[in-house]
Structure 1
């Protein structure tokens, strides 16, 4: 009973803490007294223990704003001769406590107090006795917003202070859900299909010139440990040296996302009926392979998109669309390139990153001086950052509901790339296993559905707790338990765990058997004539590069591809 009572008190204290944090942000509606532009909302930071603000704007009093920013309002001498009767004074921050300012304002008839701050906004605090004495609201307003108010509306304005309730769930979560689940499903399917096709064609490609660059990277336990150590180190370095390292991350993102966009679009460009000619002979890096003109133009387009985002990345109105498109392309490219060879490797990677995510979100607040989570602080950008830059390694969608949180602190909802890539690698493994054991993609579908359910649970936790959540806390158990449980139910857990379901010499697909039944060319002809690529139901991204070794028989100028097929090699 004592333990239950202690848990109840702890839960009650936690709920009170959540309510207090959720109510610290409010809005001030500003309208011109002369009938100029229509009203506009600005962010304020207030302490509800001084006085509560109405949740509905219609219930908030529209009062005259008295510009008293030339004073810090710390002594009776700073008060105007006529007082602040039925007004909301706007005063400068500094030289005394919030209690001294609001006590003087209340004594002179003010109905509220706005304090201008050139520094980071902090909740105006006090003690219990002071809270009981004061009956008017007090809030902080940023100096930048004050300048915008005077520039937009002039000096004669009226204001209303209110704090609308935060919606439980913003509609932009639906957009993030569709993008995340779609990326995991498409990336897992693409990566699995590509890997299976490569296994079928391996005996024909051992001596191919592009074999090494087409191979996926198998993740080993050593690589997993090194990767996690690097992630921890980079996150801590970003926390302490954010303003310097953020530009390095932005540069890496531009390079990696342009590569990913090229990889995703190249299969579509290969289907175009034009641009098959190749550039002239040269000795330049990459260009000495004489890529097709259309692939060269695609590369320039992808680089241009990445550069445009890099230049206009802080345009909140539309730059997030480019960032999300580049981010999805980057995730698809990574899922295609990185491969987990066994369910054992999947379990190790997901569990280690599970601990990593939980530690940096829930444990680090007890280790930092500010009491903030290192993960959330880095993902959303430190409040004391001089650059005001944000890390691009997230999917971001602007909030669609009007709320103080959207206006003040986090105007975007975010989902990190790691929350897509880590479960996505398991989904790709499930798809490869499906094809090898001919299970009608039951593992792939089950793991994808489990990812979607885990993401929904993440959104529910976010709505209930109103604070950043480690998504892997919910995604890892959902995907691991579902895929492992399915393998156990189908009595394939041994093969699924070790990857032994992947046969060394898998059976030929139908298109390969049909080809084998036809007339076979003579061995001498095989040595002298180029092989025609076999048709396939599985799209192979590596053939989309449109690059072949230099053809000594083709002219030096731009000429059609010798084989007459997209991506074929002479």
Structure 2
């Protein structure tokens, strides 16, 4: 049941690394002695805002919130000429208000809104007609400013450009490389323990030391992707589910939230139990009705379930829940990499290559077919209403506050952009890393780790080389993203780096045939001692001279 839940969750994993950039700015109000700043939302398609306060022009602020400014009636040009004009939102389009304000001689148009803030937009033909900044602000913020400053308010508008090289990038890099390393190492350690003593997650009471029972072998072969046909079916299923999520997001999102909460609780239990077992923590077992129960297991299960429930309840609290969400995401990826081994390098090549094509298609090709020009994958990752007004490519403009509490599919880690967090008066901005960018190459790293066990490589040459290739691939992804100022599908770089490196190592060592087929063998006349005992017959054993 646990494996089935994990597999279902991974079917809808979107493989994507992206950053969210916001068209948000700051309204700086002062009266000579007191200053205060408020959040505004603007659209770069109209006149852009300066990036620093020193570059911003100061304008007298005129309160015209008694009108919605759909026409110039009742407004004297002498009152608003060369000033920042504040009017109410409603009844007509933003572009209409902007043209009326511009014709009256206003230098800036501030639209006060009682509703949630959205990026002020218009038809493409309307943007060229307006040469003044058009922004939205909260009406309650304007009322607060009136109470603080009364009359004589001076306004300056600017939009600080977030630093590209934010520390959140390094946090994401650290999380990804450590998770993949731990997942791969755990898979290899489990394989070694499984072969030597028969005790691991796939152990069987009928298997002795150094042996794998028929039931156990069948379970390991049939539980996941063991043939090219199964890989093709699996990738086709992923494509189908992603399309279904695009059209039926509001219905299916709750199903995947429930599945993730169950799978992450199970993964957290497995990871914590393995750590406690390694530390020698006693289990304190007892028996009820011929059923042997563990005190440690019961307490640990209660804690893990409680943590998962807390996430479910507070999953939309951006200010702190991202830490708990990332913890559950890390253990989920770890558990998946460890529990779903790929049988050989051939399957690794087919799976990773197909997922690379899948990633490129749903990130770069689908924007040509969607109504709003946003990739289908981006739409699923962020939700249909979570990103507000979107612009070209994979760059996303997020409103200062969501129109509603939008549910998001838990398929990506989220780390706040700390530089923007410190200075932003609007909303937290997040860097996002999809689970697939860890799990997909992590499965290859795990296979390399198990192959090191099969050939008794004490230096873990395959594991270390594939992990280093993953690190270099992530660094390349980040570098391209920063240089192009555009989101990148990480698998575009991770798949070639890891596959080519692993194949090159196997070729240089003369083990490419065994690495490709996933066979075990003993090496004679070598410093490596044979791992497999004579009684082991389930894996082909060949003799080589080194």
Same fold (TM over 0.5): yes
Q: Give the counterpart of 2:483 among 464, 472, 476.
A: 464
| Cα shift at 1:501 | 3.3
Q: Give the counterpart of 1:396 among 414, 420, 434.
A: 414
User: Which structure has the larger Rg?
Assistant: 1
Residue range with higher mean Cα deviation, 82-91 or 185-194? 82-91
Partner of 2:400: none
Answer whether contact 2:43 2:121 (CA < 8 A) is retained. yes
After superposition, residues 294-305 of structure 1 pair within 5 angstroms as: 294-305=296-307
Q: Distance in 2 between matches of 1:293 and 1:213?
A: 28
Partner of 2:375: 373
Q: Give the counterpart of 1:490 among 478, 492, 509.
A: 509
Distance 1:497 1:23, change over 3 A: closer
After superposition, residues 230-309 of structure 1 pair within 5 angstroms as: 230-270=237-277, 276-282=283-289, 289-309=291-311
| Cα shift at 1:55 | 1.5
Q: Write out per-residue CA displacement over residues 211-257 of structure 1, whole angstroms, 9 at most, x where no aligned residue.
A: 87896534223432332223222222222222222222211111111
Distance 1:312 1:24, change over 3 A: closer
Q: Give the counterpart of 2:41 among 44, 56, 60.
A: 44
Distance 1:162 1:126, change over 3 A: farther
Q: Distance in 2 between matches of 1:366 and 1:322?
A: 36
| Cα shift at 1:493 | 1.2
Partner of 1:162: 158
Answer whether contact 2:382 2:408 (CA < 8 A) is retained. yes
| Cα shift at 1:174 | 0.2
| SS of the residue 1:161 aligns to | strand
Q: Distance in 2 between matches of 1:290 and 1:346?
A: 40
| Cα shift at 1:338 | 0.1
After superposition, residues 411-422 of structure 1 pair within 5 angstroms as: 411-422=429-440
Query: Is residue 197 from structure 1 mapped to residue 197 from structure 2 by the alignment?
Result: no
The number of residues matched between the two structures is: 480
Q: Give the counterpart of 2:441 among 423, 444, 452.
A: 423
Q: Distance in 1 between matches of 2:413 and 2:120?
A: 30
Answer whether contact 1:381 1:389 (CA < 8 A) is retained. yes
Q: Distance in 2 between matches of 1:260 and 1:475?
A: 25
Q: Distance in 1 between matches of 2:140 and 2:162?
A: 27
Partner of 2:5: none
| Cα shift at 1:402 | 2.4
Q: Distance in 2 between matches of 1:171 and 1:60?
A: 28
Task: Name which structure has the greater RCO, CA cutoff 8 Å, separation 6+.
Answer: 2
RMSD over aligned CA atoms reads 3.6
Q: Give the counterpart of 1:29 among 7, 27, 30.
A: 27
| Cα shift at 1:465 | 3.1
| Cα shift at 1:81 | 7.9
Distance 1:126 1:207, change over 3 A: closer
After superposition, residues 83-232 of structure 1 pair within 5 angstroms as: 83-116=79-112, 118=115, 121-125=118-122, 131=128, 134-141=130-137, 145-150=138-143, 154=147, 156=150, 158-202=154-198, 207=206, 216=220, 217-220=223-226, 221-232=228-239
Distance 1:122 1:434, change over 3 A: same
Distance 1:490 1:250, change over 3 A: same
Q: Give the counterpart of 2:315 among 313, 316, 320.
A: 313
Q: Write out per-residue CA displacement over residues 430-461 of structure 1, whole angstroms, 9 at most, x where no aligned residue.
A: 11112222342111111111111111111122
Q: Write out per-residue CA displacement over residues 156-179 of structure 1, whole angstroms, 9 at most, x where no aligned residue.
A: 465421123343332201000000
Partner of 1:73: 69
Distance 1:486 1:97, change over 3 A: same
Q: Distance in 2 between matches of 1:355 and 1:391?
A: 22
Residue range with higher mean Cα deviation, 208-217 or 233-242? 208-217
Residue range with higher mean Cα deviation, 299-308 or 145-154? 145-154
Distance 1:460 1:149, change over 3 A: farther
| Cα shift at 1:83 | 2.4
TM-score normalized by the length of structure 2: 0.78
Partner of 1:525: none
Answer whether contact 1:254 1:310 (CA < 8 A) is retained. yes
Distance 1:73 1:295, change over 3 A: same
Q: Distance in 2 between matches of 1:442 and 1:149?
A: 63
Distance 1:271 1:448, change over 3 A: closer
After superposition, residues 57-68 of structure 1 pair within 5 angstroms as: 57-68=53-64
